[in-house]
Structure 1
């Protein structure tokens, strides 16, 4: 049962191969087993690759089976269409398109399995990339808010500096009227005279302005600080909302790019392994000598080819014979007077009818 299944996988004619030797049958059993297990590996590879895309087992298995059957059918077709020839170079030239197709299939099959084999290393590369993306994203979002925050800070500093300047002015006025009272500056007369009162009033007015300025600027500073807090909240919200996009940056293309960041030699050896598996049935047929099955298959195909050529030649002879008979028949008919008189009578009646129709048409015009 298993032997017949692998023979079916090899694409060989089971009826012809049944009458061949055991060694010849085992050769095609091995080719069929290689085709079958290549399709199994293709199913596993495609299933894993599609699972990274759909994140669903049923979808991955369904499309993985379709891909596996497709690879199975292609490999079976490739192997079954290679015919043994007397010259190895002719065989190699015949198989070259199929070898190129096998290389493409090997690349497609090996890449998803490489992603699975090097999954931990790929996750590390993806983590580094995600961290870089997170920092870059934060910097990019910050560029939207930094000018606003800087402008608010400058405005707050200006308000505080305005208060500080006013305080300095009040302190200077205070020092002036105290020095006047003590006689250290100004009139240098100890006591609270008219000049003292003038300077004291000027200080008190500046102090009142300072108190009002502090109240006004404090309210403005409080409003500006609230705006800074609001901007900080908006910044954090944008970072938080964009972070899931970065966290989900682990799709198929991202993993393939991360795989390319790893050393190429291990991946190359895995590719060579699948290339050997994929091309082994082809090279098995190319390198194997012309066997009993090949001769019998050539005999069957030659028999059909001869039969088709014979039928085509017979059709040509029948056609030529039919032409010759027709020529003789019509040649004999030209000599018969009866057929001549009958056709002459019919032609005469036809010409009369044509003349009558022409006469009626001309009369209608007149």
Structure 2
């Protein structure tokens, strides 16, 4: 068990950026690096869970696949945090620490926001799901209104109203046609005229009867002159009543014919209007159904973020809880950098001193090795120069020796040439007479020239170097 714990601690120290060779010489720094490695491991685990939730919400993949992606993202975050910690060497200078820490803390904050967002969405997922349903319903209603305002479907209400009117006309046999109001007005006028004529006729009949009975008018009973006049007026009004009744019957017949024609026309156009209404309604329903399907499947991370913002605007308690939760996750992500920054302001530990000594010793050793390599290279160059000089001197001595030999031979040959004419003059017989083609000295000069050309190259060397 202790061996396993020791191996785990070694792994955490290496994860925290500790040097095993220095840590072996300063074991007191081991707990600090173990704790720092644990913090890095916890931030990586938090990032892995966050990425798994994000991939699951955004892509809807199988959870084991999302978990694998999350583990990869957690490894990336741990590597980035480790790079930040390793790059922050111990330095007690406030200015240099701030200069180094500001960009690193900024990067850690960005990572913290990225890590905290999916976790926050998962914590408030129930409230977000309810808000998403409301948002989807609002989006569906807005899309329905936009479709109804479209020019393709703008005539649907009028067409629906026209179909209802035509169905009423057909059902009533044309009586429900509002276009027959004028004709029906004529019938009403004719009916009023008939009623008025009937009323007058009844009055005239009563007056004639009254004159006949002697109960009114002149008071004389019998068929006198007054009665005959009243009777004639009553008979004339009867003709008026008959005429008004005939006109009323004609108007009623005209209305009946108009209603029949209206019912026939309505029945003829009702099928076409129904077919057009069915087609437009089906197209409208198809577009709405397509939008509804897309709307219901749009519960991605962007929509969830928008729902969370709306919930925060409507509920201040939820907004405060969201802020504090996000701040917590970001603090966990920034914690390794803050710990390293605080440790840099503390006095250097034995580990820090040993690291500085090892680094400076390595630099000194490297400088000494570099200087040794330079010295060896210079010595080799000097040896090469000396060897080259010796070789040149040997060649020069050989050339001078050959020159001295050549000069000696030339001198000896010259002395021999001087002594030979005197001996030849004493011993040689008299010169025979020359022929006319004998050139004499010219031929001897040519012979000497040929001999000088045939000499060895060493004999033709110049007399000066």
Task: Pick the TM interval, shorter chain.
Answer: 0.7 to 0.9
Distance 1:229 1:168, change over 3 A: farther
Other-structure match for 1:161 = 178
Q: Is the 8 A contact 2:180 2:258 kept in 1?
A: no
Equivalences, count = 338
Query: d(CA) in 2 for partners of 1:127 and 1:250?
Result: 9
Distance 1:174 1:210, change over 3 A: farther
Q: Does 1:253 align with 2:260?
A: no
Query: d(CA) in 1 for partners of 2:26 and 2:186?
Result: 117
Bigger shift: 265-274 or 25-34? 265-274
Q: Using the TM superposition, give the Cα deviation of residue 254 of structure 1 relative to its aligned residue in structure 2, in angstroms.
A: 1.3
| TM-score where L is the length of structure 1 | 0.78
Q: 1:37 aligns with which of 37, 42, 45?
A: 42
Q: Is the 8 A contact 1:43 1:65 kept in 2?
A: yes
Distance 1:220 1:86, change over 3 A: closer
Distance 1:52 1:154, change over 3 A: closer
1:179-225 deviation per Cα after TM superposition (whole angstroms, max 9, x unaligned): 889987xx855279899768856764564343223222244246435
Q: Using the TM superposition, give the Cα deviation of residue 46 of structure 1 relative to its aligned residue in structure 2, in angstroms.
A: 0.8
Bigger shift: 251-260 or 318-327? 318-327
1:289-330 deviation per Cα after TM superposition (whole angstroms, max 9, x unaligned): 311221222222222222221222222223333333344444
- Report the aligned-residue RMSD: 3.4
Q: Does 1:285 align with 2:340?
A: yes
Query: d(CA) in 2 for partners of 1:225 and 1:339?
Result: 126
Equivalent positions of 1:264-303 (< 5 A) are: 264-288=319-343, 289-303=347-361
Q: Is the 8 A contact 1:170 1:203 kept in 2?
A: yes
Equivalent positions of 1:1-366 (< 5 A) are: 1=5, 2-22=8-28, 24-55=29-60, 56-144=62-150, 147-152=154-159, 160-169=177-186, 172=189, 188-190=237-239, 204=253, 207-221=256-270, 223-225=272-274, 227-228=276-277, 230-261=279-310, 262=312, 263=316, 264-288=319-343, 289-335=347-393, 336-337=395-396
Q: Is the 8 A contact 1:167 1:210 kept in 2?
A: no
Bigger Rg, structure 1 or 2: 2
Distance 1:236 1:313, change over 3 A: same
Query: d(CA) in 1 for partners of 2:261 and 2:334?
Result: 91
1:325-366 deviation per Cα after TM superposition (whole angstroms, max 9, x unaligned): 34444444444336769xxxxxxxxxxxxxxxxxxxxxxxxx
Unpaired runs of 5+ in structure 1?
342-366
